[in-house]
Structure 1
Amino acid sequence: MAPALINANPIVHEKKKRTSKPQANYNDAIPDVIDELEIFDHVRDITDPEHPYSLEQLNVVTEDSIFVDDAKNYVKITFTPTVQHCSMATIIGLSLRLKLLRCLPPRFKVDIFLAPGSHSTEAAINKQLNDKERVAAAFENPNLVDLVEKCLVSTEE
């Protein structure tokens, strides 16, 4: 028997039209400036661990929830789970981190946070998602990595 979903009937939002900005070539001698829209394009299609919808469709990640300071090599994502007791919030955060680890130049520091007041264990999850040793330990767990990898499969065909 499959476990019950935490949020069996999430609100699903329409996806926004994609931008036409070409993907940056990080091997160029003069790198492109990375902005919030580019980061959003990288993370918008991450699939929710419990539903066949993207984080964009569930409004877990929005363009407004991303901050980039290209000059300081810094990215901050604040995401909002669909329910305050979401048991998959850490998986969502790890999915965001792994996606950005794979697509951003290594010069970037990435912070990932739950939106203030959006989760019952917000402080503990924020600590987990932004501690290098805890993140490294999580990515050494093959079952956890498998779950995160499934989230990174694009919802677009």
Structure 2
Amino acid sequence: MSEIYNPNPVIFSTNKQSKSNIHSIWLQDDEGYGSDTYFDDIVEPIDQNEIFDLIRTIYDPEHPNTLEELNVVSAPQIKISGNHLHVEFTPTVPHCGMSTLIGLSIRVRLMRSLPDRFKVDIVVKPGSHQSELAVNKQLNDKERVAAALENPALVKTIEATLQQGVV
């Protein structure tokens, strides 16, 4: 990263009580309940707060702050209809060059945490980015996402946003 797109972002207070380091919302226990049992057939509803808890702790690629602290994501920006999940995020500045990386980080966290039955659409908030249509197209094109996730340098950057923060 050579250029910082928003050197002085506004930091918002967060709800500390439900913040957790979640890797998956599906539990595995010592009794063997996991992927090979009858629990796989049980469809458990997921609400917007559970999805928000998954993505709120993702770090911004430029700053040592979470997406929640920067007000990039919020629970009201998440819509769930059956197995369709729509996540909207708001870049901190209209010319944010990290928007695609932020969206990819959200997608990877959700891919790792949700069952395959979910179709996930990730978009920037309408009117919040100068290249809104291009960013949305990149984030929701399966082939582009797959190609991006084959790039070792990009995957390393995404891993950093999902784990400890600024790359």
**Normalised TM-score (structure 1):** 0.89
Structure 1 residue 47, shift from structure 2 partner:
0.2
Match of 1:6 in 2: 5
Match of 1:68 in 2: 80
Q: Is the radius of gyration larger for structure 1 or structure 2?
A: 2
Matched, 1:34 2:46: yes
Q: Aligned partner of 1:122: which letter?
A: E
| Distance across 2 between alignment mates of 1:154 and 1:104 | 21
User: Is the 8 Å Cα contact of residues 18 and 41 (structure 1) preserved in structure 2?
Assistant: no
SS of the residue 2:156 aligns to:
helix
User: Is the 8 Å Cα contact of residues 77 and 89 (structure 2) preserved in structure 1?
Assistant: yes
SS of the residue 1:112 aligns to:
strand
Match of 2:127 in 1: 117
Give the one of 42, 46, 58 matched to 1:46. 58
Give the one of 85, 95, 113 matched to 1:85. 95
CA RMSD of aligned residues (A): 2.0
Structure 1 residue 64, shift from structure 2 partner:
0.7
Match of 2:137 in 1: 127
| Distance across 1 between alignment mates of 2:58 and 2:164 | 6
Match of 2:30 in 1: none
| Distance across 1 between alignment mates of 2:159 and 2:113 | 14
Identify unmatched segments of 5+ residues in structure 2: 20-24, 28-33
1:91-110 superposed Cα distances (whole Å, 9 cap, x missing partner) = 00000000000000110000
**Normalised TM-score (structure 2):** 0.84
Structure 1 residue 68, shift from structure 2 partner:
1.2
SS of the residue 1:106 aligns to:
coil
| Distance across 1 between alignment mates of 2:2 and 2:42 | 50
1:58-87 superposed Cα distances (whole Å, 9 cap, x missing partner) = 000001111112xx2111100000000000
| Distance across 2 between alignment mates of 1:154 and 1:144 | 16
| Distance across 2 between alignment mates of 1:53 and 1:68 | 26
Matched, 1:99 2:98: no
1:111–1:56 distance in 2 versus 1, CA, 3 Å: same
Structure 1 residue 17, shift from structure 2 partner:
3.5
| Distance across 2 between alignment mates of 1:116 and 1:33 | 28
